[in-house]
Amino acid sequence: MDSKVTGARVLLCVSGGIAAYKAAALTSTLVQRGAVVDVAMTAHAERFVTALTFSALTARPVYTTLWDAPEQIPHIRLVRQAQVALLAPATANMIAKLAYGIADDLVSTLLLAARIPVLIAPAMNEAMYEDAATQANLAILRARGYELIEPERGFLAEREYGTGRLAGEERILAALDVALLRSRSLAGKRVLITAGPTREAFDPVRFISNASTGAMGIALAREARARGAEVTLILGPTLLEPPGDVATVRVTTACRMHDAALAQGESDLIIATAAVADWRPAETSPSKRKKGDEDLVVRMVRNPDVLAALAARRRAFVVGFAAETDDHEPAARAKCAQKGLDAIAVNDVSGERGFGLGENALVLLWGQDGRLDLGRASKPVLAARLLDEVGVLMAARHGEA
C-alpha cells in the first residue's frame, strides 16, 4: 500500500489510557508499512502495555524516563531524529500538561521540545473529553499548531456509549500521511524571509519605527525549516528569539536590510514579512538633540524598496505582505502588480491589529483574481496555511500541478 510513512521516522508517544493497547497495533501497522518507529511511554501507559511489547514490535529501544541513556539527551535527540510525532492515546492529563507547558516526564518533555509536526489523538471518557477544561486546553494546542485527530463515538471502557474512543487506525494513518507530506514539502528548497521592523535613527536615542515584532516572519521561518527548507531569516530589531536552527542575519535599518537581503545567494522562495520604514531622516544627529521651545521640522528621504529589489530576482517565487488600514485587497493587489510579486498576503492593521504575538487574519492574493482567505488564527497556524498554499502555487508555476 502506497503510504507516506514508508521510510519515515515516527515518534510515537503513548500516555496512560486503556486505548494504549491500540497504540501497539498501530505500531505494528506502521512498521509493516516501512516506518522507523521510536516509542516513548509514560509511567501510566506502562500499567496498560509493557515497554517490551513495543520493543518487540519495533526492534528498537523503548524510552520510558528522562534517564534512559541520559548521556544522549533523549528528549532532544528523539524529536530531532523524527519527522513527525504522534501522541496516541492522548489523555486529558497529558493534554493539560502540553497546554500549560508542564514538562515533568519524558513524553511531556519530548513534545514540548518538538519542532516537527505533532499530532494528538485524544482518548478518554466522554465526560472528560467534553469538560470545559479539556476543550479549552485542546483549543490552546490547536492555536499553537498541533494537529488534532478527533476521537470517535462508540463503546467506552466504562461500558458506556459516547465520544471518546481513540480515532480509528486508518484515520490516524491518513493524518500521518498528510503531516509527513507537509514536512517534506520544502525539502531541498532555499527560503529567504525578511521579518520585523526597521529603525531609522533621528539621533542616538530616538528613531522612527513601527509596532511590528517579527512574530509572523519568525513563525514562517520555523515552519519552513520544519518542512525541510534551508532558511535564512533577515530580522529587524525585536525581543523575540528566532529559531535556533535557522540562519539569522540581524539588521536595524532599511538600508542594512536591503543590503543583507541582496547579499544572499539565489533562493527558491522569498517571503517578505518585514515592516520596512519607507522613509528615514535625511540627517542623523551624532548627539542627542535637546528639547527647545521651537517646533522641529525633519526632512525625510526615501529608503530603498527591499521587496521590489528582491522581486527583481525572477528565479525565486516571491510573496509579499501588505499591512493596510483601508481598501485592503485592492491596495494589496496594486502592490502585488506594481512590484512584480507572485503573491501577496494582506491583513488589516488598523488600530495596530495584526502586530504582536496574538492572532492575525490573512488573505492571500495572486494573479488577476486568485484569492484564499487563510482565516483568523495564531501566527504559527497561519504560517502553516500560507506555506501550504504557496507550495501549490509554486508547483503550478513550474508546471508540476
DSSP, collapsed to helix, strand or coil, labels residue 308 as helix
Residue pair 160/131 in contact by the 8 Å Cβ criterion? no
Contacts of 130 (CB under 8 A, 6+ apart): 163
- Tell me how far CA of residue 269 lies from CA of 194, 251, 296, 393, in angstroms: 12, 21, 43, 11
Report in angstroms the alpha-carbon separations of 335 from 257, 341, 343, 355: 20, 8, 10, 20
Q: What is the pLDDT of residue 211?
A: 84
Domains of the chain, earliest start first: 9-183 (3.40.50.1950), 190-397 (3.40.50.10300)
- Tens digits of residue pLDDT in 249-274: 999 999 999 999 999 989 999 999 99
Note the pLDDT of residue 182. Answer: 79
Distances (CA, A) of 198 to 184, 249, 276: 33, 13, 5
What's the pLDDT score for residue 174? Answer: 92
The pLDDT of 186-212, averaged and rounded, is 91
Q: What does the pLDDT look like over 340-355, one tens digit per residue? A: 999 999 987 765 555 6
The residue that leads in pLDDT, 292 or 250, is 250
The beta strands (E) that lie in 113-255 are given as 118-122, 147-148, 152-155, 161-165, 190-195, 200-203, 206-208, 230-235, 247-250
Catalytic amino acids?
Answer: 210
Encode pLDDT of 117-168 as tens digits. Answer: 899 999 999 999 999 999 999 999 987 889 899 998 887 777 788 888 999 9
pLDDT one-digit tens code per residue, 365-381:
999 899 999 998 888 88
Band (pLDDT 50/70/90 cuts) for residue 3 is low
**pLDDT bucket at 356, cuts 50 / 70 / 90:** low
Q: What span, in angstroms and rounded, lies between the C-alpha atoms of 336 and 345?
A: 9
Eight-class DSSP state of 342: S
Q: Between the CA of residue 377 and those of 75, 115, 238, what are the distances in Å? A: 29, 19, 22
Specify which residues 373 forms β-bridges with: 363
Q: Which three cell numbers stand for residue 341?
A: 510579486
Question: Does residue 1 carry a pLDDT above 70?
Answer: no
The answer to whether 362 and 345 are in contact (CB under 8 A) is yes
Residue 401 has pLDDT above 60, yes or no: no
- How large is the average pLDDT for residues 180-197? 90
Tell me how far CA of residue 241 lies from CA of 196, 217, 235, 273, in angstroms: 11, 11, 10, 16
**Which candidate, 30, 125, 133, 131, places its Cα nearest to that of 86?**
30
The answer to whether 217 and 273 have CB atoms below 8 angstroms apart is yes
